Each structure stands twice: as C-alpha cells, then as structure tokens.
Amino acid sequence: MFVNPIAVAIGVITCFPLILALPTFDSVRFFLYPDPWNLDYTQEIIPGDSKSLLTSKYNKWHFPVILIHGYGQNYSTSFPQLTKDAFLKQKLPVNVIVADWSGIIQKLNVVVNRRHGIHGPLTTVNADLIGKRVGEFIVFLINHGVLTDPTRVHLVGFSLGAQISGIAGQHAKHYTGRPIQRITGLDPAGPLFHFHAIKGKRLDHSDAYFVDVVHSNQGRYGIAGNNGHVDFFPNGGGPEQPGCTPRSDIPGLPGSCPHVRAWEYFTETILGSKIWACKAISYKDYNVLGNGNCHDKILFGLKVPPTARGSYYFDIVRNDPGSPAKISGPSFASYGLAPSPLYLY
C-alpha cells in the first residue's frame, strides 16, 4: 500500500466523506515554562480557568512567546522543547508558553482514499479551529490583566504550527481590533496550503505587525514562495539541506530532516549565533553577490530587524546529530558586527 508522506503530514482532499474532530478548549493545551533554572518545570494554564492563570508564575511585566508545534509532534518533542530551552537559557523578559494541540490528532477520524491508500488525519479546517483557540487564549490573557494588548505577543510556529500561528493572528485581530506584534514562521506547511481556495486561512504578512519566515524544505513539506514581510532561504530554501540524515526526520515523516532544519537554524540564533543574510532576487543572484558585493545584509533569526522586507539568503551547515551550526560561504557572514536594536528583544 502506498502512503504519501506529504498527505500524512497535512491531509488530503478526497471524494470520500470528511469527518472532522472539532477542537475544544481542552484539546488545545497551554503550558507555561516560568523557571530558567529548571527547564522542565511547567504549569498548565487552562483557558476559562482564572485560577490556573492567576496562581501561575506568569509574569505580567514580560511578554508571551507562544510556541506552536507541527504535525507528529507535541509539547514534549524536540520542537518546541529545545527552542523553549533556548529562550529560557538566555533569561529574556518573556513568558515562554507551549501550545499543544496533539490531543486533536488522537480524536480525529482518519480520512482514507481507499483506491490509493492515502491517509490524511488533519485538514486545513482543523488548523483554522486550532488557530482560533490560540487567538482566544491571547484574549484570555488580556481579559485577566496580565497582557495589555496583542502588540506584545510573539508567536513562533513550525510547519503546520506556522500556518496555525497565522490563523491565530487573524483571530486575535478580529477579537481585539489590533494585530499581534510578531509571527515567526518556521518552514510553514506546504501541502494543501498552496491552494488559492484557502487563501486567508494560512500565514501571510497581514497576520501581524511583523512576519518573518524561514524556508528550508520548499516544495515538499514546506510551502514555496514568500509569505512574510521578510523571507529567509537558507541554502536556497530547499528542498534539501546539507548535513541531513534520517536520524533528524520527524517520526513517521520520512525525508523531513530539511524541514526540521528551519527551527534548528532559528534556535541557534536565540542561543547567540549571528547569522547574516543577503538580500537577493534568487539563490543564483545571492551566489554572485557572495564575493563581497552584498550591500543589503541583515541578521537572520530572533533579532531580525522588524523593518526588513523582501527575500534574504545565507549558507549554513548543521551536521547530525545535534552539532552546532556552521555559517559558511560569503565574506559578509561576519561575527564582528553588532546586532540592530529590536522592538521586543
């Protein structure tokens, strides 16, 4: 039986009836990690339960960073855990929160294309409903006085979580009348989301004041083309990334290592790596500029300037398993330049 890994990652359109499991509050859970000296300590904040919030160690003077995982993951997998750890280790003025929607997968009826044997347990409809729950969680924080408004929110989503982040931004804006401050999309999921019919139910630059996107697996698990105010294309944006082996694949998603690289590269920048990128119209153009002729270079990752616009490229190698990234190639990838001041960090 042929099983399409891309269909498994996101879902498929079939001629068979589609049964959806509609997300409820209890199927999207929110875990606060308040202690940089104890990375595993967590408190669950339950939307609608004021006590769970007000008795937690949520710091109302810090802004929330909400990490949203992709398909095949949950709150305890490498993403978001390693990215969460990176935020905590830097002792930034943030409330690190992990949104876990993995419970929805357990409740879903699998859609089966009996002719081709393609299974698709998740659809864009569910992504919309999960995003709505995240948007409602932001409103829950505002209504309880621990968050002034959505302009102090940063969403970081990987794969399907990136698309959910965009949808959450849309719902938060609908509820409050103001956009959230920033969305970072880490290789937003591609299958199904490229269809024109669902435009508006996926991540784009209108979902926050500033949307930065990294593409590492275009055309396979990741969506192709520009989605944010600024889009980064490491090693040309994929579909392949150097140094990948099956050990870095997401379980059940063969060949997903290049997809995973997006959150790994971003996490390196939280930990202090300065990865410089060059503005170019294509990867070919970038390689021409790599001889020192690049005049428009910015930091990639956590400290990207919010005024950045357009497409930026850089070369980077991260060898398995778990070795640190190595920036290579153009001479402008210098560690000596100071980062620009930013709106939140």
Tell me how far CA of residue 128 lies from CA of 43, 95, 340, in angstroms.
Answer: 26, 24, 35
**Pick from 152, 177, 168: which is nearest to 65 by CA?**
152
What single-letter amino acid sits at 147? L
Q: Are residues 161 and 185 in contact, defined by beta-carbon separation less than 8 angstroms? A: no
CA dist 96 and 40 (Å) reads 12
Beta strands 230-234 and 275-279, pairing class: unpaired
Q: Which two tokens stand for residue 50?
A: 């004021």
- Residues ≥6 apart with Cβ < 8 Å to 97: 30, 31, 32, 33, 45, 64, 65, 66, 67
The catalytically annotated residue of 100, 187, 207, 212 is 187
DSSP result, 32-98: EE--TT-TT--EEE-TT-HHHHHTS---TTSEEEEEE--TT--TTSHHHHHHHHHHHHTT-SEEEEE
C-alpha span between 20 and 89 (Å, rounded): 39
Q: Residues with Cβ < 8 Å from 17, sequence gap 6 or more? A: none
Please pick, among 207, 216, 259, 315, the residue that the annotation labels catalytic. Answer: 259
* Residue 159 a catalytic site member: yes
Other C-beta atoms closer than 10 Å to the C-beta of 339 total 17
Residue with the two structure tokens 């949203």: 68
SS3 call for 123: coil
Residue 273 known to be catalytic: no
User: Catalytic: 187?
Assistant: yes
Residues marked active site are found at 159, 187, 259
